[in-house]
Amino acid sequence: MKLIVLILIFGVSIKYSQKYETITDTSSYPFSDSNNITILPDFEVVTNNQLYLKKYRTTVYYVKRVYDYAQIASSMLISFQDTLATISSKRKQKVFIRKANKRLKAEFKDEIKDMSITRGEYLMKLIYRETNMTTYDIIKFYRGDIKALWFQGLCKIAGQDLKREYNPSQEDIMIEKVVKKIEDGELAYIKRSPKTNYAKETMRSKRKKRKIEKRKKRKTKEKK
């Protein structure tokens, strides 16, 4: 049985299908010794807790698959916010928001509409990590208060919470560690290049900013 939850967030009706994905990617799986003690090299943890191992494998599996989607979506959302901050007229802001929705739709429609609930949850956590905006915040800002409340109510029935935040030091610590591994070039992930010119432009801008931030951090360390 599929549980369908419609969410208006990327400017389209997105169908999150509650379906199970078989995790067959073993490239980042931990390994075991002769005593059946499993070593997690990415986390510097040694454990035989099967629930922990399952969570580790699941986290790596999903983060690797939604990482690029989150990067592209967040770069577009941040760009939208930066532009809106320069527009004082409410009428012009509404016009721009409509244009922003069309751009998101053009970039993601065909892929996001069939995304499973689990992938969607990981995607929105990574988007929050980059933008500091929950799914509820995004829907409210781009689609209005009423739609945000309506979809929050619908998702609550389905056991989802659009107001859920990203907590890298507690419940989302494992996601944060996987993301850090990707960012440091220590973990391969499934690439998804931006399709539209606008998305490509925002990603170029994001990369430039990150390079500048890395240089600043490097210089700060050297001074110390």
User: What digits encode the pLDDT tens for the residues 133-153?
Assistant: 988 898 888 888 888 888 888
Is the per-residue pLDDT at 14 higher than 50? no
- Split at pLDDT 50, 70, 90, the class of 96 is very high
Mean pLDDT over residues 48-68, rounded? 86
Mean pLDDT over residues 157-183, rounded? 89
Mean pLDDT over residues 65-83, rounded? 93
Sign (positive or negative) of CA dihedral 164, 167, 171, 177? positive
Which residues are registered as beta bridge partners of 17? 4, 116
Pairwise CA distance, residues 135 & 9, whole Å? 8
Lowest-confidence segment of 30-34, 107-111, 179-183 by average pLDDT: 30-34
Pairwise CA distance, residues 33 & 186, whole Å? 23
What is the predicted pLDDT for the residue at 21? 56
Give burial (CB, 10 Å; 0-12/13-18/19+) of 191.
exposed
Pairwise CA distance, residues 132 & 135, whole Å? 10
pTM, two decimals, is 0.78
Contact 175, 80 (CB under 8 A): no
* Cα 25 off chain centre by: 20
Mean pLDDT over residues 6-20, rounded? 46
